[in-house]
């Protein structure tokens, strides 16, 4: 009997039948079914027998926590139970990874934070598919949640609320369910199908994805299920992260001597960051990022006037430091960005009265999170579009992801045509984060059809 959890006065099954499975093709009496019919069958019936086990696990064991814990170990037995070959490893276990230019040093993996890569071995001659997601999540702060506590997920109005629901456990669930559905159907892939849960995507790292690529877990097509609102993103923006420090003289003006305050200089610098953002948007254009909400942004995200663990006497601080992020389109290089950015600050340091009393120092704080773009006319792009069209009955919108992530690690290091396709969600890295469950279900079907089509398997499954 289905394990039904009460929701909004009904059950999961009642809710899904009314709201989430309107695209399901009725089961035909024919002895054989097409891909879409078979996958829809599994979503409608098998799903209710074990209602989204990863989502249930998120709730029962707080798998949604993700941050700085060894929760990927929970994925290992789930994947082994499905009959998959599983490789569990720390990013630091991969020889040479710490010498790679994309490696971010200083990360801690001593507490059991490990990648889990599951492989479904295929027969000869088929193309391989990689479904990938990250298990770590942003911190619970800001702690002003209203719908639920961040680590006590709640189902309301067709949405799963909780930290990590959209970023990106909803997409990870859809990917896992694609494999579960195909296993239940008795499908035998011609090419390998990989499912991985990596660590350390948050905080501009990507070390987990990098380690998996260098360990050889690559494929002929890679799909990341970050939340794209069901838009197929063939590109993602990159990010530069750094600090702008204004240094002066510390002290108190007790003797009547004026001491310029670098915090006042920082206030002017923040105004200039907005000016830079306007120039940056005007000087850069990319057709995949021309819609409202996809503009290039500049974000000053932290201001400090003291060193960590330093006791500071009240008075004018010695320095003020602004931590910033500047996003960029595919095609921008680190050298070109810093050439332009340094020229901007050099010009204003020499001409702006508010900055004149201070020494300005501009330096990177993290490595360059590279942008990426897979060509629109690549055969893999066409395959993803076709699978979406076949299962959903309509073509997805195509665009660029207006957030930076580790997509370039898959494309550049893994040498894979790489895409982002994920569910609708909101409030990422904020309070009341949620994911739309109906999108998780739809994506499970799309991903299953994609794996079947891309592997080169027969259009017919099951039956004689």
Q: What is the CATH number of the domain that holds 350?
A: 3.30.70.360
Residue 141 domain-assigned?
yes
Q: Which of 174-188, 274-288, 311-325 has the highest mean pLDDT?
A: 274-288
Q: Average pLDDT over the chain, rounded to whole?
A: 84
Q: Are residues 82 and 185 in the same domain?
A: yes
Residue 1 domain-assigned?
no
Mean pLDDT value of segment 345-360: 97
**Does residue 421 carry a pLDDT above 70?**
yes
Q: Are residues 140 and 190 in the same domain?
A: yes
Q: What distances in angstroms separate CA 320 from CA 241, 283, 305, 346, 365, one per listed residue?
A: 17, 29, 4, 18, 15
Q: Are residues 356 and 400 in the same domain?
A: no
Residue 266 domain-assigned?
yes
Q: Are residues 297 and 436 in the same domain?
A: no
Contact 128, 57 (CB under 8 A): no
Q: Give me the phi and psi of 70, to 5 degrees please.
A: -90, 50
Total domains present in the chain: 2
Contact 298, 339 (CB under 8 A): no
Q: Are residues 250 and 156 in the same domain?
A: no
Mean pLDDT value of segment 139-146: 80
What are 308-318's pLDDT values in tens digits?
Answer: 877 777 889 99
Q: Are residues 25 and 134 in the same domain?
A: yes
Q: Are residues 202 and 346 in the same domain?
A: no
For the chain, give percent helix, strand, coil, nearest 5.
35, 20, 45
**Does residue 392 carry a pLDDT above 80?**
yes
Give the closest residue to 133 by CA, choosing from 156, 99, 167: 167
Confidence of residue 169 (pLDDT cuts 50, 70, 90): confident
Mean pLDDT value of segment 372-395: 96
- Return the sign of the alpha-carbon dihedral for residues 97, 101, 103, 104: positive
Please report, for the domain that includes residue 17, its CATH number.
3.40.630.10
Domain coverage including residue 389: 12-236+374-461
Q: Are residues 313 and 419 in the same domain?
A: no
Give the closest residue to 155 by CA, choosing from 52, 285, 224: 52
Q: Are residues 32 and 59 in the same domain?
A: yes
Per-residue pLDDT at 313: 74
**3-class DSSP state for residue 162?**
coil
Q: Are residues 228 and 217 in the same domain?
A: yes
Query: What's the Rg (C-alpha) of the chain?
Result: 25
Q: Are residues 351 and 403 in the same domain?
A: no
Give the Cβ contact number of residue 324 at 10 Å: 21
Least confident window among 16-20, 122-126, 441-445: 16-20
pTM score, whole prediction: 0.84
Residue 5 domain-assigned?
no
């Amino acid at each position: 009997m289905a394990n039904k959890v009460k929701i909004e006065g009904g059950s999961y099954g009642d809710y899904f039948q009314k709201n989430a499975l309107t695209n399901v093709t009725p089961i035909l009496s024919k002895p054989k079914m097409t891909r879409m019919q078979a996958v829809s069958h599994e979503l409608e019936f098998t799903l209710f027998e074990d209602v989204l086990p990863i989502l249930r696990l998120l709730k029962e064991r707080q798998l949604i926590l993700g941050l700085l814990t060894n929760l990927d170990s929970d994925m290992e037995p789930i994947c082994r139970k499905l009959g998959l070959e599983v490789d569990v490893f720390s990013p630091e276990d991969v020889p040479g990874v710490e010498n790679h230019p994309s490696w971010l040093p200083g990360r801690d993996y001593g507490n059991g934070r490990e990648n889990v890569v599951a492989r479904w071995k295929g027969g000869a001659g088929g193309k391989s598919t990689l479904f990938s997601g990250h298990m770590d999540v942003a911190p619970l702060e800001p702690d002003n949640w209203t719908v639920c506590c961040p680590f006590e997920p709640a189902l309301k109005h067709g949405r799963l609320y909780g930290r990590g629901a959209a970023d990106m456990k909803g997409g990870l669930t859809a990917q896992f369910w694609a494999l579960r559905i195909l296993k239940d159907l008795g499908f035998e892939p011609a090419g390998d199908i990989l499912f991985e849960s990596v660590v350390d995507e948050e905080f501009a790292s990507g070390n987990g994805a990098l380690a998996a690529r260098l360990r050889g877990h690559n494929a002929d097509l890679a799909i990341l299920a970050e939340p794209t609102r069901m838009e197929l993103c063939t590109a993602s923006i990159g990010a530069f992260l750094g600090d702008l420090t204004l240094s002066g003289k510390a002290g108190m003006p007790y003797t009547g001597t004026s001491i310029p305050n670098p915090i006042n200089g920082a206030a002017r610098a923040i105004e200039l960051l907005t000016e830079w953002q306007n120039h940056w948007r005007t000087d850069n254009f990319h057709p995949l990022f021309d819609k409202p909400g996809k503009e290039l942004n500049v974000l000053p995200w932290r201001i400090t006037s003291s060193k960590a663990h330093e006791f500071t006497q009240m008075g004018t601080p010695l320095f003020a430091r602004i931590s910033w992020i500047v996003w960029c389109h595919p095609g921008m290089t680190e050298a070109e960005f810093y050439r332009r950015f340094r020229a901007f600050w050099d010009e204003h340091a020499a001409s702006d009265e508010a900055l004149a009393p201070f020494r300005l120092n501009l330096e990177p704080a993290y490595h360059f999170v590279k942008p990426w773009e897979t060509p629109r006319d690549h055969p893999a792009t066409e395959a993803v579009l076709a699978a979406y069209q076949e299962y959903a009955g309509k073509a997805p919108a195509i665009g660029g992801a207006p957030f930076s992530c580790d997509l370039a690690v898959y494309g550049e290091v893994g040498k894979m045509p790489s895409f982002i396709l994920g569910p609708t969600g909101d409030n990422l890295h904020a309070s009341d984060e949620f994911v739309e469950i109906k999108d998780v279900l739809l994506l499970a079907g799309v991903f299953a059809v994609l794996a079947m089509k891309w592997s080169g398997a027969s259009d017919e499954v099951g039956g004689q």
